[in-house]
Amino acid sequence: MRPTVLTALLALSLTACDKLPTRPKTAFNADSAWSYTQQQVNFGPRVPGTPAAAKAGDWIVAMMKQRADTVIEQRWVHRTAKGDSLPLRNILARFRPQATQRILYVTHWDTRPMADSDPVLGNRNTPILGANDGASGVGLFIALGDALKKTPPNVGVDLLFVDGEDYGASFNPPYVDVLLGSQYFATHLPTPDYKPMYGVLWDMIADKDLNVLQEVRSVNAAPEVVSRVWEKAKELGYSRYFISSVGQDVIDDHVPFIEHGMRVIDVIDYDYGPPAPNGGAEPNYHHTLGDTMEHISKQSLQIVGDVALALITQG
Ligand SMILES: [Zn+2]
């Protein structure tokens, strides 16, 4: 995932009164989400075609089979620009699969094979751990699975883990070796008439300094979905984290869905890292070896998990 236009980022400062509430707002359990995120990271980088990816994928399937009504795997082989054969796997966990009114949530579970934004040149060919970019969405979804198993939703819910989001070097059209799982799913739907009411992609949602701006393409393609998500965040008291301003234009897994006529938006905190120190450069852990557990936060998982679960359970 990468922004196509660099827009000015909001400088945010938290004041002493910006405290998280102590009472839970939903049944979403961030301790569990954190633990699932850690377990993904413990597999090591989840680069498609590696044994670690195979193990991590098997683990996601097993975890979702314990929670969802149905789990569908899509497996295929992608021919890369270099001519290599890349085995890929999407995992779709369905709750109330017969329900016609459905919500689709998407996250990618693969991690980038190279830390090409690392400040240290010598690190740029090393695969990333992807605590935020890859694992946090998985942690979020498995914990959502816990809540939906305990209290089945009134609508159908599809939790889609897509593979191969972050494999290739360039995110510009025609999307060479990136967004592979979302492109595959958008052209291989579970049923020919599959049409969720709306969808949300959750990507990089656990930064300690959580600030989710509205993504440009999402606002243009499905403004009513953006409003729905940001209104829900506001109702929950989270408007300082889900900021009602338009941020960057990001090429991410929502794009193939939009291109195939589905109303899917991207919830992403692209600005991964703490605010810039006085006079210093702002650290950004995105696509660096710094994308580790120490830079993500359980509180952020709670905030995003509350929004994601409330959208399903409270409409
Ligand atoms: Zn990425």
pLDDT tens digits along 146-182:
999 999 999 999 999 999 999 998 898 888 999 999 9
Beta pairing class for 85-95 and 156-162 = antiparallel
Interval 106-128 mean pLDDT: 97
Find the 181 Cα to ligand 1 centroid distance in Å: 14
> How many Å apart are CA 116 and CA 186, to the nearest integer?
28
Residue 184's closest CA among 39, 48, 66, 41? Answer: 48
DSSP state, residue 217: H
pLDDT value of residue 99: 96
The tokens of 123 are what?
């690190």
Q: Contact 86/113 with Cβ under 8 angstroms?
A: no
**Kind and range of the H or E run holding 104:** strand 102-108
Q: Where are the domains of the chain?
A: 23-313
Residues 6+ apart with CB under 8 A from 46: 40, 52, 53, 56, 57, 109, 110, 111, 130, 134
Find the 166 Cα to ligand 1 centroid distance in Å: 5
Interval 272-298 mean pLDDT: 89
Find the 162 Cα to ligand 1 centroid distance in Å: 13
Find the 78 Cα to ligand 1 centroid distance in Å: 19
pLDDT value of residue 8: 42
pLDDT value of residue 11: 42
Residue 85's Cα: distance from chain center in Å? 25
Find the 130 Cα to ligand 1 centroid distance in Å: 8
> How many Å apart are CA 4 and CA 34, to the nearest integer?
31
Find the 79 Cα to ligand 1 centroid distance in Å: 20
Asked whether the predicted pLDDT for residue 81 surpasses 90, the reply is: yes
Asked whether the predicted pLDDT for residue 6 surpasses 50, the reply is: no
**Kind and range of the H or E run holding 198:** strand 198-203
pLDDT in tens, 9-31: 444 444 445 555 567 899 999 99
Find the 266 Cα to ligand 1 centroid distance in Å: 13
> How many Å apart are CA 107 and CA 44, to the nearest integer?
18
Kindly state the percentage of the chain with pLDDT values over 90: 86
Find the 173 Cα to ligand 1 centroid distance in Å: 16
Domain covering 23-313, topology:
Aminopeptidase (3.40.630)
Size of the chain in residues: 315
281 falls in which pLDDT band (50, 70, 90)? Answer: confident
Find the 286 Cα to ligand 1 centroid distance in Å: 7
**Kind and range of the H or E run holding 156:** strand 156-162
Find the 141 Cα to ligand 1 centroid distance in Å: 18
pLDDT value of residue 10: 42
**b (16+ CB within 10 A) / e for 90-111:** bbbbbbbbeeeebbbbbbbbbb
275 falls in which pLDDT band (50, 70, 90)? Answer: confident
> How many Å apart are CA 87 and CA 252, to the nearest integer?
20
Find the 110 Cα to ligand 1 centroid distance in Å: 9
Find the 114 Cα to ligand 1 centroid distance in Å: 10
Find the 132 Cα to ligand 1 centroid distance in Å: 9
Any idea which residue has 């699932």 for tokens?
36
Q: Contact 311/103 with Cβ under 8 angstroms?
A: yes
Q: How far is CA 172 from CA 3, 118, 168, 250, in A?
A: 10, 20, 10, 10
36: number of Cβ within 10 Å = 24
Find the 97 Cα to ligand 1 centroid distance in Å: 30
**Does 274 or 148 have the greater pLDDT score?**
148
> How many Å apart are CA 236 and CA 195, to the nearest integer?
28
Asked whether the predicted pLDDT for residue 208 surpasses 80, the reply is: yes
Find the 156 Cα to ligand 1 centroid distance in Å: 29
Find the 1 Cα to ligand 1 centroid distance in Å: 5
Q: Contact 145/68 with Cβ under 8 angstroms?
A: yes
pLDDT in tens, 47-68: 999 999 999 999 999 999 999 9
pLDDT in tens, 227-238: 999 999 999 999
